[in-house]
Chain A
Amino acid sequence: MATRVLIPTGALGLGYDREALERGIANRPDIIAVDGGSTDSGPSYLGRGVSKYARSSTKTEWRELMRARAQAGVPLVIGTAGTCGADSAVDWLLDITREIAAEEGMRLKVATLRSGQPAGRIKQAMAAGRIRPLGAAPEISDAILDSCSNIVALAGVEQISAALATGADVVIAGRTTDTAIIAALPIGRGDHPGAAWHGAKVGECGALATTQPNSGVIQIDFDATGFTIEPMAAAAAATPYTVSAHMLYENSDPYILYEPGGHLDVTGSDYRALDGRRVRVEGSKWVPGRYTVKLEGARVVGYQSVGLAVIRDRHYVAHAREWAADIEARVAAKIEARMGLAPGDFAVELRLIGIDATLGTLENRRDLPVEVGVLGILTCPTPEQAAEAAKILNPYLLHHPLTEDEPMPTFAFPFSPAEMQRGALYEFCLNHVMELDDPMEAFRLEVQDVGHEVGHD
């Protein structure tokens, strides 16, 4: 059975073209699927279990999608809710959903799919030989797993299909693969599995695979032999090039994509323009394999303070590296002597913005800038120590001379105080897969009725 999936945007909170969304709804989709996150903004979001987007932006866009859903009369599914897909992020979006339903007078059946994993489950799986490292995975141990503030498993189509099978109007899923929310319904309805996964990969970033990435909204039709992608913004076009090139994006191998229960192989895919703006893709292959789900985890590895100063003096700009190295050594010595921290327990780093702050030792250009931003980063075992260490750094950032026999310099501080508490430093500590016998055994599906019976006045 052919399946029409409407994808409003690459991520809820990023925005989209409203007219294009209306056009998509008028085309009578079978489901609206939107991604809510990724690891791309770093480990802090998973570590804290929070969203990177403003609650107000999320609520505004989610309200529009909930209205669109009501108009179309089809399910609305979001994957990786709240950027990281931790259980707390699912709760956050469920709260927002309840508020909107109450304000709009909507009565809804909402399914939540939770992906959070207790450390104990992963430790047991590890002991049973059911955890496997992926490329460049860090070493893990029971202690590291215990220290994670959040561990999630990435759900695939099986778990999303189970959520859809509840008959829910809205599915709020925790961490899922980016593709699963799009591929689930087509696969459940017997459309071509290779096409379902491939179309889902092309569609997961919204209109990124078209000539107008910011327009957001695309529609993908899946059937027994392939898929057809069409952007909903009037001026946007999908071309064989924009569609096939999307397999490159954020993907280490442009032909293969690993998913729970197998992998997608697009080596033999054929991309054909149907007209100036629609592309038909056939020949993609789904290769079934063992049922595994990928794991992500984040943990606190220290606390940071940062200090910022700007050097404009030409002489100091020219000698910024040696100046910074001298300060790092002096501040480290003082932290040891005055705070009693051992060398391996803390770090002092001055990054020179304008010199090599992006690339560090890989930087190979040596041009001198007009000014240099000095970002002092202090990492310590506790937040109090990080704050204290930043105060030890402060006078050096303000006044440190290159040599003893030159007048005392003063550099530009943009703020008072010059130092800022950054809070916890988190690290991703899992790049592993876990084998499952039953796809649902590591996930929790719940259904709740949400909203008022009477309309909002």
Chain B
Amino acid sequence: MTELGQIAQKVRSKNAGPFWLTIDIFCGSAEVFERVRKGLRDEEVARLYGVDRQLMKRFDIADLNVVKFSFPRPQVQGTRGDRDMHGAGWACLLEEMRID
């Protein structure tokens, strides 16, 4: 088990418009991509962000060695409960997640 952020090149989260969040895991190599692709289970990622798994989109992009998740923002951007206007801080949760 290791933290995802220690094997991936970069984990980035960002708004995709005010209502969606998108997280890109740049794996950096085909080998790490395979490990991340197999090691990340949808239900665990959904639980990490407290989102409905049915609403979560996942893209395993072999050409780029990227795994991407998109889902409705846990809080809509700029609402009273929103803590992170640009959504960049959410990447840390995946970065620190332990995978096989």
Q: Is B89's CB under 8 angstroms from A428's CB? A: no
Which B1-53 residues have C-beta < 8 A from chain A?
Answer: 14-20, 22, 24, 26, 48-50
Question: Separation in Å of the A444 CB from the closest CB of chain B?
Answer: 25
Known: A39-B18, A248-B22, A254-B59. A362 touches B64 (CB 8 A): no
Q: Is B89's CB under 8 angstroms from A379's CB? A: no
Closest B residue to A241 by CB, please name it.
B64
Max chain A C-beta neighbours (<10 A), residue from B18, B48, B66: B18
Q: Is A431's CB under 8 angstroms from B19's CB? A: yes
Closest B residue to A244 by CB, please name it.
B64
B76 within 8 A of A: yes
A427 within 8 A of B: yes
Q: Is B83's CB under 8 angstroms from A427's CB? A: no
Q: Is B80's CB under 8 angstroms from A425's CB? A: yes
A137 within 8 A of B: yes
Q: Is B72's CB under 8 angstroms from A135's CB? A: yes
Q: Which residues of B contact A137 (CB under 8 A)?
A: 19
Which A223-281 residues have C-beta < 8 A from chain B?
Answer: 241, 244-245, 248-255
Segment at the B interface, from A96-104, A181-189, A352-360: A352-360
Q: Mark A358-376, 1 if CB is under 8 A from B, else 0.
A: 1111101100000000000
Closest A residue to B22 by CB, please name it.
A252
Name A427's contact: one of B55, B79, B96 (CB within 8 Å).
Answer: B79
Closest A residue to B20 by CB, please name it.
A252
Q: Which residues of A contact B64 (CB under 8 A)?
A: 241, 244-245, 248
Q: Which residues of A contact B19 (CB under 8 A)?
A: 134-138, 428, 431
Count of A residues near B, CB < 8 Å? 43
Q: Is B80's CB under 8 angstroms from A301's CB? A: yes
Question: Separation in Å of the A32 CB from the closest CB of chain B?
Answer: 27
Known: A44-B78, A245-B66. A362 touches B18 (CB 8 A): no
Count of B residues near A, CB < 8 Å? 40
Q: Mark A161-175, 1 if CB is under 8 A from B, else 0.
A: 000000000000000
Q: Is A359's CB under 8 angstroms from B68's CB? A: no
* C-alpha spacing A379/B80, complex, angstroms: 8
Q: Is A244's CB under 8 angstroms from B63's CB? A: yes
Name A253's contact: one of B48, B57, B79, B90 (CB within 8 Å).
Answer: B57
Which B69-100 residues have C-beta < 8 A from chain A?
Answer: 70, 72-74, 76-81, 83-86, 89-90, 92-93, 96
A351 within 8 A of B: yes
* C-alpha spacing A374/B89, complex, angstroms: 19
Known: A250-B15, A252-B57. A427 touches B93 (CB 8 A): no
* C-alpha spacing A225/B68, complex, angstroms: 29
* C-alpha spacing A252/B14, complex, angstroms: 10
Q: Is B18's CB under 8 angstroms from A253's CB? A: no
Closest B residue to A431 by CB, please name it.
B19
Q: Which residues of A contact B57 (CB under 8 A)?
A: 252-253
Q: Is A365's CB under 8 angstroms from B96's CB? A: yes
Known: A42-B85, A358-B83. A250 touches B55 (CB 8 A): no
Question: Separation in Å of the A255 CB from the closest CB of chain B?
Answer: 8
Question: Separation in Å of the A420 CB from the closest CB of chain B?
Answer: 17
A116 within 8 A of B: no
Q: Is A362's CB under 8 angstroms from B93's CB? A: yes
Q: Which residues of A contact B14 (CB under 8 A)?
A: 249-250
* C-alpha spacing A302/B78, complex, angstroms: 12
Q: Is A43's CB under 8 angstroms from B66's CB? A: no
Q: Is A42's CB under 8 angstroms from B74's CB? A: no
* C-alpha spacing A136/B70, complex, angstroms: 12
Q: Mark A31-53, 1 if CB is under 8 A from B, else 0.
A: 00000000111111000000000
Name B55's contact: one of A136, A351, A357, A365 (CB within 8 Å).
Answer: A136
Q: Is A351's CB under 8 angstroms from B22's CB? A: no
Q: Which residues of B contact A418 (CB under 8 A)?
A: none
* C-alpha spacing A134/B53, complex, angstroms: 18
Please name 21 pairs of A and B residues whose Cβ atoms are closer than 8 Å in the assembled complex, sorted by A.
A40-B15, A42-B77, A42-B78, A42-B85, A134-B19, A136-B19, A137-B19, A138-B19, A138-B76, A244-B63, A244-B64, A245-B26, A245-B64, A248-B64, A250-B14, A251-B22, A252-B16, A253-B59, A377-B80, A427-B76, A427-B78
The 6 closest A-B pairs by CB, nearest first: A136-B72, A252-B70, A42-B78, A358-B89, A252-B16, A43-B78
New A-B contacts (13) at CB < 8 Å, excluding given A41-B86, A254-B61 = A39-B15, A43-B18, A44-B78, A248-B66, A248-B68, A253-B59, A254-B68, A255-B59, A359-B93, A360-B83, A379-B80, A428-B76, A431-B17
